[in-house]
Structure formats: structure tokens, C-alpha cells
Amino acid sequence: MTVRLNPSILSADFVNLQAEVERIASADLVHVDVMDNHFVPNLTFGPQMVGRLQAVSPIPLDVHLMISDADRWAPGYAELGAFSVTFHAEAAADVVATARALRERGARAGLAVKPGTPIEPYLELLPAFDQVLVMTVEPGFGGQSFMPETMPKLRALRAAVDAHGLDVWLQVDGGISLDTIGIAAEAGADTFVAGSAVYGRDDVAGAIDELRAAAAAHRHA
């Protein structure tokens, strides 16, 4: 199983984002948290900024939409050229139609669930998606504590993906650090978002290497 490490620029310096994405060139993807101050109580950036990041980033964009009315707005992020676009199940009326719209526009389609949202209703829809994001904190802010009670959802996803031989990446986001990444890896995650654990360190490349190694050491059997 390939381990992917996606630093979140939510913890980067927002007035120097070009330099901040260049610092993480050794990572797999750059995780871009789009927040609308409605779905979550925080505001970051929208399509104009994502389009500029797409133009200057040395690695592909993994866009995480924490916005309401995802059916309407998600496809536009795929049109900007994002490698993957992940929207929240709680914010979409028709998750399968929105996933299809993303794929038609050339992006990988991702489905995200908040800590309190059960995964069972979505297990049979997995073939419509290229990745599933299990939030390991309440979405909205960086620097929060990892919620281990979300791990049963990851185990259920890993079992369903493996049972059906699907190629669906399983992502975790929130509170991922050297202390917690192994817990998520053991439960079946293969794609790890880390904000403060990367940008909180002076040696961001070293942080990326160490986090990847820690995940690989605890890889799901």
C-alpha cells in the first residue's frame, strides 16, 4: 500500500503561499482547505486563490471543500485543474451526481465525512469515488486533537475497499502527527493530511519524511 503525505496550507503563511508550497515540494499533494464561513465557522479562500495555487504549485492540488451547497460549487474547482476535489457528504444533495461531475471534469472525486457522520450509508457508493476523507477532528481549524473514536469508520472503509478490490484512497485529516499517524495507518488510512505537524516545524521536508516513515511503519496489514 502506497503511503501519501499531503501537507495542509491552512497552517502556512497566507501572504507567502507560493513560497510555502515550494517548501513542501517533496510531499505528494498540497492539501487546500476551502472554507466558506457557513458550513464551518472559518473562512479561507475560494476559486481565484485555488487557480493561482494551481499555476504555481510544484505538486498537484488536493482540494478539501468545507462549503455548503457542494453540488453547485465543487465542479468549478475541478475545472481549475485540481488533481482531487473532496466535498462533504453533509453539504451535498446528490453525492453520486456531484462525484460524476468532478470525474467528467478530470478530477479525482472525494467524499468527506465529519466525525459524527456514519459511513455505512456510503459504503455501497464507493465505486463512485476515488477517495474518502474521514475527518479526525471537527472541520474548521488546524491544530486540534486527533479523535481516535473515528477509527472504526476507517476500518469499515478499508474492509469494504479491500473486499471489492476497489482503488479508493482512504484519507485522514485533523490532528495527524508523529504520535497519531500510526493509529490511522493501522486502521487502514493510506493518505494523510498534516497541517501543524508540517508547517509547525522549521524543517518541513524532515517533517514530511518522518511522518511518511511513521505511517509506513504502521501500514495496515
Could you list the active site residues? 33, 173
Q: Minimum distance between the CB of residue 127 and ligand DX5, rounded to whole angstroms?
A: 25
- Give the one entry of Zn ion, ligand DX5, none that residue 194 binds, where binding means its C-beta sits below a cut-off of 5 to 8 angstroms depending on kind: ligand DX5
Tell me which long-range contacts 199-208 makes (C-beta under 8 A, separation of at least 24): 199/7, 199/8, 199/9, 199/11, 199/12, 199/20, 200/11, 204/7, 204/23, 204/24, 205/23, 205/24, 205/26, 208/5, 208/7, 208/24, 208/26, 208/27
Q: Is 39 helix (H, G, I), strand (E, B) or coil?
A: coil
Residue 1 · residue 190 · CB < 8 Å: yes
Q: Which of 9, 34, 53, 64 binds Zn ion (CB under 5 A)?
A: 64
Establish if 33 lies at the interface with Zn ion (CB under 5 A).
Answer: yes
Rounded to whole angstroms, how far apart are CA atoms 53 and 146?
28
**Contact region for Zn ion (CB under 5 A) — 13-21, 35-43, 62-70, 104-112?**
62-70
- Pattern of binders to ligand DX5 over 119-148, x per CB under 6 A? ------------------x-xxxxxx----
Interaction pattern, residues 11-50, with ligand DX5; x per rule: CB under 6 A: x-------------------x-x-----------------
Q: Of the two residues 11 and 98, which places its CB atom closer to ligand DX5 in the complex?
A: 11
Among the listed residues 211, 88, 220, 63, the one whose alpha carbon sits nearest the alpha carbon of residue 151? 220
- Please tell me the distance from the alpha carbon of residue 174 to that of residue 177, in angstroms, as a whole number: 9
Binding site for ligand DX5 (CB under 6 A): 8, 10-11, 31, 33, 64, 137, 139-144, 173-176, 193-197
Binding site for Zn ion (CB under 5 A): 33, 64, 173
